[in-house]
Amino acid sequence: MWTIPPSFPLYNSILSSSPPTPHSRFSHIAIILLSIKKREREAMPEAPKESQKATEHEYDVAEKNKKTLQFIEDVTTNADQVQKRVLAEILSRNAHVEYLKRNGLNGHTDRETFKKIMPVVTYEDIQPDITRVANGDKSPILCSQPISEFLTSSGTSGGERKLMPTIEEELGRRSLLYSLLMPVINQFVPGLDKGKGMYFLFIKSEAKTPGGLVARPVLTSYYKSSHFKNRPYDPYTNYTSPNETILCLDSYQSMYSQMLCGLCQNKEVLRVGAVFASGFIRAIRFLEKHWTLLCKDIRTGTLNTQITDPSVREAVMKLLQPDPELADFIEAECSRESWQGIITRLWPNTKYVDVIVTGTMSQYIPTLDYYSNGLPLVCTMYASSECYFGVNLNPLCKPSEVSYTLVPTMAYFEFLPVHRNNGGINSISMPKSLNEKEQQELVDLVDVKVGQEYELVVTTYAGLYRYRVGDVLRVAGFKNNAPQFNFICRKNVVLSIDSDKTDEVELQNAVKNAVTHLMPFDAHLTEYTSYADTTTIPGHYILYWELNIHGSTPIPPSVYEDCCLTVEESLNTVYRQNRVCESIGPLEIKIVEAGTFDKLMDYAISLGASINQYKTPRCVKFAPIVELLNSRVISSNFSPKCPKWTPGHKQWINMTGRT
Ligand code: AMP
């Protein structure tokens, strides 16, 4: 077995083979860093000059940062050995689980046998096993360690959220990835330990599977864990939002109190953010709607009576002081006609906006630029419910150049080369299961080629083996021996506003259900396409419909509204949840003039599309095409109400009822 070189103390600690427990080696990198720091200090006769002047706290931060960066150097330099070791560790621990035995792995832990024997799978392939676990089968089906909960992915299968198994120790691995972020940023933006981060973080409702396991989004699981709630003081996780405000399930109370706390501490804020760009914009929109109430609270030092959660009230009241001067200032800024640069005006010491703007979130870049007066938009990490993947080592780069370095200790990574047809990925229908030849095409982390696109395949500590995540990545370069990837897209997803991911098939079905309302009018849908409109806040889906109407009775607007609602009711649970919690606005159907889609085809052909192969795109993004469609709209119709949504899979009993 590969042994860890003694010169990698941190790496050594992280990968040492002590038995995994909730407080295992992965439980918090800070502990490891601290013990190394202590060891090294003992060996150090004299501290460097600067540190003598620095306070103990400053010394700690600098030293921790250095160790973390060294960890990144070590694992990226030894990427292949680390990967080999990670796979061997996963396979040896799980040698006796049913899934590996069923596939005939017979206790082998080497890459060659694993790749020869184990199939590359999608969620649908492992769904029967997942369902067994969800229904209460506690035997080791996928993983030798108990499945502690399910993480509900924003990806869907059959309209329901996917359930990703996880184990207790994965929380430690997630914490580890988080702990890499600030030392990296600190190299480019020093001094962030001298102030606070204003982050809008939220939990969502959880459900219980019939077998009694909790099913919830990965961030809800993380924020509710002791890794987050009981984190030791660290200047880099010093947020303006008290934990109680983040852990409040009521989205209005949570947002209001987080915004209030952020405003009260406005001078201390050095960075602002949310997980995804859409969430941050929602917070600004909330401020636009509620600033008068917020100013009243700041002026008087009393809290809005709509904040009824006692723990939230108590936490906020610890920070809230009557401050008429601050209230005047906020009022003056918010009542100005233009909200351009509102971030830098209200939080004048902000150095950057920390939000993901890669992938579909790139549609929000212009809005963020407007509100932040062009502050750097920093995408720090790439992660999913299946596994946290990697970090951006060059955080101040342009959003279009962001690349993520996959951290080799997180999971065992493989890459399936993507071959584009006509430049489109979304239009390819990938085979459900790969044949033997295709399985052999998968390459290891260190073997990917610059410029080539790949689909990410992971083998995790929590029981996923050669699992296709569904993301397409392009190799941008290497950090030592570890590749850095641009996020290209999520396969098959056509529409996304927030965490929703709607694919072409779901859209097609939803449209098919909706057009039944047109039948009494002898009207038929001849063509349609869609567009994720993010110029409204929140953004919303637009469908462009071209109709062939034979009947003589005019179609009343209420019928089109019924069509809108039926589309929404037919879309997946993530879409409907986002609608209910107002992260997505009402769906719009725009009826376009006859002949519009012919014009669309003419335009595509004028740009070089082949007339034989032309297919109407089921989603459009290119501005001139959207303009063309909009120039031929006859009527606009919106969904009159929210579609139905309840937490958990349809058949489960809900634990809680609110988002
Ligand atoms: P979920 O499993 O619901 O947490 O969603 C994870 C998915 O979100 C990933 O597989 C990606 O498709 C997307 N995602 C996560 N991080 C990023 C990122 N930094 N840039 C673009 N897309 C991301």
Cα 565 to Cα 642: distance, rounded to the nearest angstrom: 8
**Beta-carbon contacts of residue 324 (< 8 Å; ≥ 6 apart):** 299
Residue 549 CA to ligand 1 center (angstroms) comes to 42
Query: Which residue, by CA, sits nearest to atom 16 of ligand 1?
Result: 382
**Beta-carbon contacts of residue 636 (< 8 Å; ≥ 6 apart):** 588, 589, 590
| Residue 52, helix vs strand vs coil | helix
Binding site membership of 540 for ligand 1 (Cβ less than 6 Å): no
Cα 178 to Cα 197: distance, rounded to the nearest angstrom: 14
DSSP 197-225: EEEE------EE-TTS-EEE-HHHHHHHS
Cα 81 to Cα 627: distance, rounded to the nearest angstrom: 52
Identify the DSSP state of 421.
B
Cα 25 to Cα 12: distance, rounded to the nearest angstrom: 10
Count, residues in the chain: 659
Q: In the β-sheet with 467-479, what is the strand arrangement from edge to edge?
A: 381-383, 388-391, 404-406, 482-490, 467-479, 453-459, 412-417, 443-444
Cα 194 to Cα 271: distance, rounded to the nearest angstrom: 11
Residue 206 CA to ligand 1 center (angstroms) comes to 20
Q: Are 353 and 272 in contact (CB under 8 A)?
A: yes
Ligand 1 pocket: which of 181, 382, 496 to mutate (most atoms within 8 A of CB): 382
Q: Cβ atoms within 10 A of the Cβ of 384, count?
A: 18
pLDDT of residue 55: 54
Q: Are 163 and 150 in contact (CB under 8 A)?
A: yes
Residue 486 CA to ligand 1 center (angstroms) comes to 12
Least Cα distance to 604 among 572, 630, 629 occurs for 629
Q: What are phi and psi of 148, to 5 degrees?
A: -85, -30
Cα 164 to chain centroid distance, Å, stands at 15
Q: Which atom of ligand 1 is nearest to the CA of 493?
A: 12
Least Cα distance to 24 among 144, 164, 146, 171 occurs for 171
The model carries a pTM of 0.86
Binding site membership of 363 for ligand 1 (Cβ less than 6 Å): no
Binding site membership of 409 for ligand 1 (Cβ less than 6 Å): no
Residue 34 CA to ligand 1 center (angstroms) comes to 31
**Beta-carbon contacts of residue 502 (< 8 Å; ≥ 6 apart):** 493, 494, 495, 496, 541, 571, 572, 575
Binding site membership of 574 for ligand 1 (Cβ less than 6 Å): no
Binding site membership of 583 for ligand 1 (Cβ less than 6 Å): no
Least Cα distance to 424 among 626, 601, 627, 616 occurs for 616
Query: Which residue, by CA, sits nearest to atom 5 of ligand 1?
Result: 384
Query: Which residue, by CA, sits nearest to atom 6 of ligand 1?
Result: 384
Q: In the β-sheet with 633-638, what is the strand arrangement from edge to edge?
A: 523-533, 540-549, 588-592, 633-638
Binding site membership of 89 for ligand 1 (Cβ less than 6 Å): no
Mean pLDDT per 10-residue interval, the chain, length 659 residues: 31 33 34 35 35 54 95 98 98 98 97 97 97 98 98 92 97 97 97 97 95 97 96 94 98 97 98 96 96 98 98 98 98 97 98 96 94 98 98 97 98 93 46 76 97 98 98 98 97 94 94 97 95 95 96 96 98 96 96 96 89 88 96 98 92 50
Do strands 540-549 and 588-592 pair parallel, antiparallel, or not at all (unpaired)?
parallel
Binding site membership of 465 for ligand 1 (Cβ less than 6 Å): no
Query: Which residue, by CA, sits nearest to atom 9 of ligand 1?
Result: 384
DSSP 440-454: HT-EEGGG--TT-EE
SS3 content of the chain, % helix, strand, coil (to 5): 40, 20, 40
DSSP 257-297: HHHHHHHHTGGGEEEEEEEEHHHHHHHHHHHHHHHHHHHHH
pLDDT of residue 24: 35
Q: Beta-strand (E) ranges in 345-444?
A: 352-356, 377-378, 381-383, 388-391, 404-406, 412-417, 443-444
pLDDT of residue 514: 98
Query: Which residue, by CA, sits nearest to atom 8 of ligand 1?
Result: 384
Binding site membership of 384 for ligand 1 (Cβ less than 6 Å): yes
pLDDT of residue 421: 60
Binding site membership of 596 for ligand 1 (Cβ less than 6 Å): no
Identify the DSSP state of 137.
-
| Residue 54, helix vs strand vs coil | coil
Residue 404 CA to ligand 1 center (angstroms) comes to 12
Binding site membership of 379 for ligand 1 (Cβ less than 6 Å): yes
Q: Which atom of ligand 1 is nearest to the CA of 386?
A: 2
Binding site membership of 471 for ligand 1 (Cβ less than 6 Å): yes
